[in-house]
Amino acid sequence: MSARRGRAARVLSGVAFAALVTGAGAERDGCGARRVPVAVVRAGSQCGAATGPAVSLVTTVEGWRAAYASPALGGGDEAAPVDFAKDAVVLISMGERPTGGHAVELLRKEAAVQDGVARVQVALRAPAKGALVTQALTRPCLALSVPREGIRAVEVVDERGAVVARTGR
């Protein structure tokens, strides 16, 4: 009986070692991508200068202040929304819209990261047909925090998984 327990212990030790070496303990999806948490930092209706959907990865306080000097999101001299030593900010802009009522909405509170590229899923919302909206140009955007380690680029995908914006690789 003790020989059987010894063999079982060695098998389990080998399995645990293999899991540790291959990263099996990390949260991964069926395609081998790891999953990281995503949290909303800010959202607004007047930020960004893009004419269409765009995304940028902000990795420094200075980058945050330069990218986010928008009064709609609190201004550029405030404290950084994340600890840039361990996190980064993904800034997603919907681009210019002709009226109010548009928004960028986070759909999943986690992103798949594979080969250094984080895939963030959002919805680009338009006002309901016939809704009363402001008659002013808007530039809706969303700022998200993500763990910085191992992320060098970002892809933003919509509800169907189609890429709507990406950073340079």
Regarding whether 62 and 3 lie in a shared domain, the answer is no
Torsion sign across C-alpha atoms 101, 121, 59, 89: positive
pLDDT in tens, 147-168: 999 999 999 999 999 999 999 7
pLDDT in tens, 71-94: 555 555 566 789 999 999 999 999
Regarding whether 147 and 99 lie in a shared domain, the answer is yes
Based on DSSP, count helices (H) and strands (E) in the chain, helices before strands: 2, 10
DSSP 123-159: EEE-PPTT-----S-BB-EEEEEEE-TT--EEEEE-T
Interatomic CA distance for residues 156 and 153, integer angstroms? 10
> Residue 66, Cβ neighbours under 10 Å: how many?
11
Query: Domain range spanning residue 20?
Result: 1-27
Place of tokens 């909303």: 40
pLDDT score, position 75: 57
Q: Is 116 left (phi over 0), alpha (psi -120 to 50) or beta?
A: left
Regarding whether 37 and 17 lie in a shared domain, the answer is no
Regarding whether 133 and 56 lie in a shared domain, the answer is yes
Regarding whether 141 and 69 lie in a shared domain, the answer is yes
pLDDT in tens, 77-136: 566 789 999 999 999 999 999 999 999 999 999 999 999 999 999 999 999 999 999 999
Domain count, the chain: 2
pLDDT band at 169, cuts 50/70/90? low
Give pTM, 2 decimals.
Answer: 0.76
